[in-house]
Amino acid sequence: MDANIEDILHTLTLEEKVSLLAGKDFWQTVPVPEKGVPAIKVSDGPNGARGETFSGGTRAACFPASCCSASTWNPQLIRQVGHALAEETQTKGARVLLGPTMCNHRHPLGGRNFESFSEDPLLTGKLAAQYVIGLQEKGVAGTCKHFAANEQETDRLTVNEIISERALREIYLKPFEIAVKEANPWAFMTSYNQVNGIHADASKFLLEKVLRGEWGWKGLVMSDWGGTNSTADSLNAGLDLEMPGPTRRRTYRDVKDAIKNGELTEETINDRTRNVLELIRKIGAFKNPEIPAERSEDKPEHRKLIRDVGGQGLVLLRNENDVLPLKKDEVKGKKIAMLGLAKEALIHGGGSASLHSHYRISPWEGMHNTYGKDVEFKFAKGAHTYRLLPPLATGCTDSKGKPGWTLQAFEAGKGSLPTMTIHGHKEAAFTGLFNEDVKWKDLELTTTFVPTETGEHYIAGSGIGPTRVKINGKVVFEQKHSTNDSMGFLFGGNPETEFTYSFTAGQSYSIRIESEAPGKEGSDFGGILAGMPGFRLGFMYAKEHDEDLVSQAVNVAKECDYAIVFTGHTPVWETEGQDQAAFHLPNKDRSQDKLVEAVAAANPKTIVVNSTGVVVAMPWLSKVSAVIQAWFLGQEAGNAIADVISGAVNPSGRLPVSWPKHIEDAPAHGNFPGEKKDGQLTVKYAEGVFVGYRHYDRMSQDKVQFPFGFGLSYTTFSLKDARVSQTSNGKFTAEVTVTNTGRRAGATVAQLYIGRSKQSSEHPIKTLAAFKKVFLDAGTKEQITLSIDLRDFAYFDQTSYKWKVDNGRYDFSFGQSTQHIENVVSVDIEGASRELKL
């Protein structure tokens, strides 16, 4: 039988209630077994249930990133993803999945864009709702995150975002509102940042007024990890659960003192505790309190689903002279150059979304799986794509004569005997990730290095705290301050300056790395990485560093009938913890752009397959025959790419974001990532509601590389005979006939945008109000129906504090992208301005 929450609540002491309001450890809540309250386990993340280990650990299914899922424009497919992720979550002993991530793509350099769906709140909300429904139909709680306005990673723990209430409600809160009303998620997670001067975890506006008040949502609100910034304020605002544990802000003593001082009431503690107990009930943990050991289940149906989502999410951006598809019977006996990142499986971004996948199929493997021996493939790397020099590992001997390094930890600043010594540490890199044994300790790493080549070689170093590198007792590198981005250091590495040092082959060199515990000046001080030391020393022989990789790739391309260049971001380039380094593809010398240009000049049938979670510059676009935007496709990446290249799958992905030609044309340019004054970073959302296509619609279209909603197919489609009728007060029905006018089966997305016939500078020209993905055989057609409510295109009037649709004429525009509008139906909405219920 279901537990009676009120009965349990009344049996708990105040101390027991308080204990339930913070985690026990990194992934579990606190149990009170004598009162029948079990612990529950949560797991990252939005594209796969990783389990409790950040690196390595139990293998898990890696699904396409949300940017790819959004490109399918297929809510029913994403519901299936929710079902599969629920099953994966249960294999990790968890019943709460920390996803979906639902923040909008405000700027192309957003470090976590890949983890979110779209620039458009309606598309994000509709897809996220189905994701949550899929999870919860299988008994696993979805966690909508990060609430709210977590659009950048720079200074993410403290940044203050100044946002008008209209923009906040129309753009940044709307996806969450849709998810609440259509899916009723069981959990929310607050963001790290401040919104208009108040941390999200303590925002009564967000949690009390909007989420639980206007939207009427009942569920559990948890903090992001280390994102609880107060005791009384967060509890009063509605933050139920501080994560992770053990608590930093909710000790029994702190809470009791707050009650004694009148800052808190026991009724508030009861409310917060009740929400924790309700979540335990919803996920069935009272009935079955067991948290089983993690296990790995590689299910064939999950493999197929991941491949299907990848195939529907890939976006064909360019296809001159129909160079694609490369049909198997037409390329038999041909030579295909596979260049760049062809042997890298770019399946996910970095940070919370990363996991130890069951397997990972690279494009090289996927193409061989598809074409077999009928095609001869040739490979050349073509470009350096590392972000940091690889850590020095080979040729090293520790103090015991074993391969590797000797790592020692010392009490900070005491110069005493080491508290920890490890011999055989494999490389010149270390992070004390959540390791209490090294917290607030100084570290030393020593080795004897014997190089195999003579000459100047490349070195680079960095640390979370102040760090020095000595070779034969001489300081060759020094970082005097703690990093401002320890999370960035952990997930991708802070920028490092390379320098050279002359070595002689066969000679022994003593290398010592001294890294102090981080000081309080770092921006992550007080976060979950507070006090955790870390450092790295990169090394590369000059021969490898200065090798002419481009010429090698060009020579291979010249030999082949087709050249496919695989570009993109490895997880260290696109990751939680830091925003993008640049709009251009990496490495720092734009090596991938140079590779594409050189190969395109050498082979007229050059195809680019780009795997990033964000839009990037494409200065070479007009010089190549075809471009596929592959996103991060999950563990079946290579197979999904090969399906589209070979024509086994007709591409049907459509862009969930606008693609500017230049970063200067982005709506948030000049207001990202903000300005720092007296140590406080503030970012003004000065573009207001004009985000993404809402901004580009007002500009010359030559500023846009590819419009929102765009994507090519191996067939063609048309939208005709559009009609709109008002079915009841405030509701409309739109109909349009979709025809496959080409020679093969495929799918397109019918998109309906609504805007004022007489344009206004205060409002977007048009707003996405409905969409439907349509699958059709060649030569067939289907009449589709779209339902629209006034709220789908209403605006928030800050003066009257109401949602409104003003009286007047509105254009209902039917198209296949924001720039490909095929039918426009004008509708008069008569009467006074309509004030809509919140």
The answer to whether the beta carbons of residues 123 and 116 sit under 8 Å apart is no
Q: Which two tokens stand for residue 542?
A: 């000059």
pLDDT tens per residue across span 613-636 = 999 999 999 999 999 999 999 999
pLDDT tens per residue across span 676-688 = 999 899 999 999 9
What local confidence, expressed as pLDDT, does residue 70 receive? 98
> How far is it, in rounded angstroms, from Cα 426 to Cα 407?
10
**Radius of gyration, CA atoms only, the chain:** 28
Angle between helices 75-91 and 300-313 (to 10 degrees): 140
- CATH superfamily of the 5-51+61-282 domain: Glycoside hydrolase, family 3, N-terminal domain (3.20.20.300)
What local confidence, expressed as pLDDT, does residue 525 receive? 57
Q: Which of 136-150, 519-533, 604-618, 672-686 has the lowest mean pLDDT?
A: 519-533
Partners of residue 567 on adjacent β-strands: 610
The answer, yes or no, to whether residue 834 has pLDDT greater than 60, is no
User: At residue 579, what are phi and psi to the nearest 5 degrees?
Assistant: -80, 170
The answer, yes or no, to whether residue 836 has pLDDT greater than 70, is no
> How far is it, in rounded angstroms, from Cα 631 to Cα 316?
11
The answer to whether the beta carbons of residues 327 and 611 sit under 8 Å apart is no
72-77: average pLDDT: 98
What local confidence, expressed as pLDDT, does residue 484 receive? 77
pLDDT tens per residue across span 792-813 = 999 999 999 999 999 999 999 9
Q: State how far the alpha carbon of 765 is from the alpha carbons of 11, 107, 203, 262, 687, in Å.
A: 58, 20, 32, 51, 15
Position 730 confidence tier, pLDDT thresholds 50, 70, 90? confident
Identical fold between 300-385+549-703 and 715-836: no
Position 552 confidence tier, pLDDT thresholds 50, 70, 90? very high
Look at domain 396-426+433-532 and name its CATH class. mainly beta
Position 831 confidence tier, pLDDT thresholds 50, 70, 90? very low
pLDDT tens per residue across span 220-247 = 999 999 999 999 999 999 999 999 999 9
Could you give the angle at the alpha carbon of 584 between the alpha carbons of 613 and 74, nearest 5°? 25
Q: Could you tell me how far CA 312 lies from the centroid of its own chain?
A: 19
Instruction: Please report, rounded to a whole number, the percentage of residues in the chain having pLDDT higher than 70.
Output: 98
271-294: average pLDDT: 97
Instruction: Please report, rounded to a whole number, the percentage of residues in the chain having pLDDT higher than 90.
Output: 89
The answer, yes or no, to whether residue 521 has pLDDT greater than 70, is no
What local confidence, expressed as pLDDT, does residue 837 receive? 55
What local confidence, expressed as pLDDT, does residue 1 receive? 41
Supply the residues annotated as catalytic: 224
> How far is it, in rounded angstroms, from Cα 582 to Cα 616?
9
User: At residue 243, what are phi and psi to the nearest 5 degrees?
Assistant: -130, 150
773-798: average pLDDT: 96
Topology adopted by domain 300-385+549-703? Rossmann fold (3.40.50)
User: Could you tell me the residue ranges of all domains in the chain?
Assistant: 5-51+61-282, 300-385+549-703, 396-426+433-532, 715-836
602-609: average pLDDT: 98
What local confidence, expressed as pLDDT, does residue 835 receive? 54
Partners of residue 606 on adjacent β-strands: 563
Burial of 646 (0-12, 13-18, 19+ CB in 10 A): buried
pLDDT tens per residue across span 444-476 = 999 999 999 999 999 999 999 999 999 999 999
pTM, full prediction: 0.95
The helix/strand count (H/E) of the chain reads as 20, 39
The answer, yes or no, to whether residue 396 has pLDDT greater than 80, is yes
What local confidence, expressed as pLDDT, does residue 468 receive? 96
Position 832 confidence tier, pLDDT thresholds 50, 70, 90? very low
Look at domain 715-836 and name its CATH class. mainly beta
What local confidence, expressed as pLDDT, does residue 320 receive? 98
> How far is it, in rounded angstroms, from Cα 684 to Cα 674?
7
pLDDT higher for 495 or 617? Answer: 617
What local confidence, expressed as pLDDT, does residue 643 receive? 98
- Gap between the terminal Cα atoms of the chain: 37
